[in-house]
Amino acid sequence: MEDGIKVIDLLARHPSTANFISTKLVRRFVADDPPPWLVTRVARAFRQGDGDIREVLRTIVTAPEFYSPEAFRSKVKKPLEFVTSALRVSGAETNASPVLLRLLARMGEPLFLAFPPTGFPDLGSSWVSADALLTRMNFVLDLASNRISGTKVRFPDPSEDADQLIRFVAPEGLAPATRAALGEANDSSRYALLLAAPEFQRR
C-alpha cells in the first residue's frame, strides 16, 4: 500500500501530469486549440499550488486569453449542454422522460453512457456534422412545438416584442443572416429557428 501511494504521489507531481491536466482544462474553458502560453502558465500554477485545482481555475479565468475575442463563444455546445440550455431558455418543465433521453442519445451523448474511460470528447469537431446538426434541429422543432413527452415549454409571447425574444435567447445578438431568416418565419417556427441558430450552438 505504501509503495502504491508513493507511485501515485510521483505521478501527481510529475511535470507531464501538470501539463496534461492544464491542457484539458484550458481546452474545456477557453478553446479547442489551447493557447500554449496559457497552458504553460496554468501548468506552473498547478505545480506551485501542489495540484490545487481552485488556483488552477483562477489562473484560467483571470487570464487575458479567457476574455479574448478569439475565445468568446468559440466552443460548440456538447449535446447535453445544448439540450440543457434549450430547456432552460425556453422555461421548460420536464421530467427527463425516456423520450428526452433518447433524443440526447441520438445527438451522440447518451447520459452516463460514455464508452471510453476518458468520457465524451470536448472538441467541437466531434459534435459538428450534417447528421448531428439535423438531429439538433429536429430536437428544437419538437421542443418548440411541445411534442416531447414529459416536457412543456413556456416561451415569451413573440408578438409582444420580437427583439426581447432575441435578447432572451441570444443576448449577444444575431448575425444578419440569422435575423433575416427569423424575420421570414411565423410565430410557431420562430422559437425553433432561434434555438437552431449558430449563435445558440456555441457557449
Q: Where are the domains of the chain?
A: 2-67, 79-200
Q: Which three cell numbers stand for residue 166?
A: 432575441
CA–CA separation, 105 and 95 (whole Å)? 16
- Residues 53-99: tens digit of each pLDDT: 999 999 999 999 999 988 888 899 999 999 999 998 888 899 989 99
Coil, strand, or helix at residue 55? Answer: helix
CA–CA separation, 199 and 53 (whole Å)? 31
> For residue 152, what are the β-bridge partners?
93
CA distances from 120 to 79, 138, 194 (A): 10, 22, 26
- Residues 143-198: tens digit of each pLDDT: 988 899 999 987 766 555 566 667 767 777 777 777 777 777 766 577 888 888 88
Burial 7-41 (b: 16+ CB within 10 A, else e): eeeeeeeeeebbbebbbebbbebbbeebbeebbeb
